Chain A
Amino acid sequence: MSGSKNSVKTGAAPAGFMEAALFTLVAILAGFGMELLSSGGGIDLPVWPFNLIVLILFGALILAVGLMFRERPLVAWLGGIPLGLSLIIGLALLSLIGGVLPQDKLPPDSPVAMLRLNGMFSSWSFALVTLLFLFNLGLSLVWKSVPFKVANLQFMLFHGGFWIALSCGLLGATQLERLVVPLYEGKASDVAYHRESEKAIHLPFSIYLKDFHIEQYAPKFALYDPANDRLVEPKSKLVPEIGKGVKVEWTNIGSVTVLDYLPSALPGANGVPVAVDGKKGVAFARVRIDENGKVSERWISSGGPQLKPLFVPMGSYFIVMADGAPKAFRSEVMLTGPGGEKRMETLEVNKPVDMQGWKLYQAGYDESAGRWSTLSLVEAVRDPWLPAVYVGFFMIMAGNVLFFWKGVKKMEAA
């Protein structure tokens, strides 16, 4: 994309791809050297307001160098495609390490941790290559933008968008806050925790959890083979969802038909399940089991906090019932701001809510309690640099549309 015929005249690049590759390699090795010296401590990016100051100074440096020394061979090389390509390959190789090795904590004296291969994306190597890449990208952007030409618009949008998204995403990361707020039904809280440090922080508002509710898909039943510790696949290849009248067959084993289904029930005085309201009950189903002619009727159940699951044998297998996967989980909350203003909201996955510069997400619940959970885990996220990153994203997409258009036009001309 960089080689458009509209490029501004620059100085002749003194060196080609080999020198660029060597330069990139030196940057990577220097990064590893820094990691060894700091025992894999990684890079600490500047915090507010220094991140903004660094970004402005870096941008100004690129602009000054790009405009004032554009005809110097060294500068032409620094902003040229060979170096850009080498740095792209460098970024890809470092990402490859980060994409193959688990990015987990390791004993600090292990070689992987000493080189920070287990924390690649906050390592010196990655930071140095990214910095040089941003410098190279920035120079080429300056040359294509000044003087302005409409023909260079696609280049400016795509490369400029990438520069903004990458630089603001990285420098803004120090201000990104992601906190977990545990909420219990019937209680209010303004205490949030850092996931890693478990440090408690008070939010500028409080959240009262009125109700936590889980909607589930229908319970499923399955045939368990204890000898091989596996589930036997039904003839239909369909995970059988329980519902009145559902019949499932297993080749050479038999079939099960659901005669009755009670989504919420408790055993009655004579042991027969009786439907009950609300969260107290568990799912029961009366099934007819046909083991190749030998017919019987039994109750099966998924069980719950107070009741053991009911599973029944069919030959050497067992018919078991499992709760359906969560379809939706949501928290009905009341948010109270610093001035006492109150707001009712529903938090749900994929539907975050804004409050005082924070975004609140429905993150989780007590999975061991399943639909009986009275705990809701909410994530509170604040990312002041997000608008800048989004500007970058939308510029990339606009550049992309032009690129697509140009590509199709060229293809038609081919």
Chain B
Amino acid sequence: MTLVEFPAIAFAAAACWAAGSLLQIPARNSKAAGSFSWLFMLSGTLVLVWFLTSFWIALERPPLRTLGETRLWYATLIPVVGFLVEYRYRIGWLKYYCMGLATVFLGINYLHPDVFEKALMPALQSPWFVPHVVVYLVGYVLLAASAVSGWHNVMLDFRGKRSAKGEAMSHYLALLGFVLLTFGLIFGALWAKEAWGHYWTWDPKETWAFISWLAYLGYLHLVALKTDPRKLQWYLGLSFFVLLVCWFGVNYLPSAQNSVHTYSG
């Protein structure tokens, strides 16, 4: 499976998510419609899992090198967070945001298709490659989910329908995301030591990884200070923009010209 098939795959995934979401309306009264709804929504993600697996085989390397490839993982994993939250906490609305966000990422990849190549530069041929990127990606996915749920909570509050359960969920998603971000940061440092000789060089990408980490460290200390959770929803919603700069915005900053971490795509 290659990028030639990507538009069809992206369309199939988005169509499955859309059909599953629409079927949630009759699902309120019909158990059968509910089952079909979940079948469609999970199929959307399974289509992407299948594509990622075949793409990995075709590339003969993990598809984790370019930004386009990481967006693909993002689109695959973020609806899973939505589904798990509904399964565990009976909070249904998050999955729609997650599927929406995943569709946006698929759309970006559709509009800017990358040419794919198998080459993997020697520095990336490391046992740390997969753990570092995957831990970071799952962390980003959880923090994205916490950001959208933060925005949702802000809107609920505006409408006078504040949800303590929703606020608790965005907090725990952020907490788990922070844990993974920390692992990602340290795995990256250990890898850099093996590849480049030093674990930290204040390269622009490293600096932004540190800033994003500090943003969430600040969040946890605000929680410890018993800050009004309504204000924290704003904080979580806005912190994600810092993470986006770290993910790909850093490539467009003046400091990026000397970075060893500017990945194309």
Contacts A99-B207, A349-B125; is A92 near B172 (CB within 8 Å)?
no
Partner-contacting stretch, out of A26-34, A261-269, A326-334: A326-334
From the candidates A169, A349, A403, A410, name the one contacting B200 in the complex (CB within 8 A).
A169
Asked whether A327 lies within 8 Å of B207 as measured between CB atoms, the reply is no
Asked whether B224 lies within 8 Å of A2 as measured between CB atoms, the reply is yes
Measured CA separation A326–B121 after assembly (Å) = 7
B143 CB to nearest chain A CB (Å): 14
Asked whether B168 lies within 8 Å of A178 as measured between CB atoms, the reply is no
A350 within 8 Å of B (CB atoms) = yes
Contacting residues, chain B, for A48 (C-beta < 8 A):
none
Measured CA separation A82–B115 after assembly (Å) = 50
B2 within 8 Å of A (CB atoms) = yes
Contacting residues, chain A, for B222 (C-beta < 8 A):
85
A276 within 8 Å of B (CB atoms) = no
A296 within 8 Å of B (CB atoms) = no
Asked whether A81 lies within 8 Å of B2 as measured between CB atoms, the reply is no
Asked whether A397 lies within 8 Å of B183 as measured between CB atoms, the reply is yes
A50 within 8 Å of B (CB atoms) = no
Measured CA separation A103–B207 after assembly (Å) = 11
Measured CA separation A155–B123 after assembly (Å) = 35
Asked whether A85 lies within 8 Å of B195 as measured between CB atoms, the reply is no
Contacting residues, chain A, for B190 (C-beta < 8 A):
393
A89 within 8 Å of B (CB atoms) = yes
B175 within 8 Å of A (CB atoms) = yes
Partner-contacting stretch, out of B22-30, B40-48, B100-108, B252-260: B252-260
Known: A1-B221, A3-B223. 16 other contacts (CB 8 A): A3-B225, A95-B211, A95-B214, A98-B202, A102-B255, A176-B198, A178-B198, A233-B115, A238-B3, A238-B116, A348-B122, A349-B125, A350-B125, A386-B199, A400-B183, A404-B179
| Chain B residues within 8 Å of A, Cβ to Cβ | 2-4, 88-89, 113-123, 125-126, 165, 168, 172, 175-176, 179, 182-183, 186, 189-190, 193-200, 202, 204, 207-208, 210-211, 214-215, 217-218, 220-226, 250, 253-255, 257-258
Q: Can you list 23 residue pairs at the A/B interface with Cβ under 8 Å?
A: A81-B225, A82-B225, A85-B221, A88-B217, A88-B218, A99-B208, A100-B253, A176-B198, A237-B2, A237-B4, A238-B2, A239-B115, A328-B125, A350-B125, A350-B195, A361-B195, A361-B196, A381-B198, A389-B199, A397-B183, A400-B183, A410-B172, A414-B89
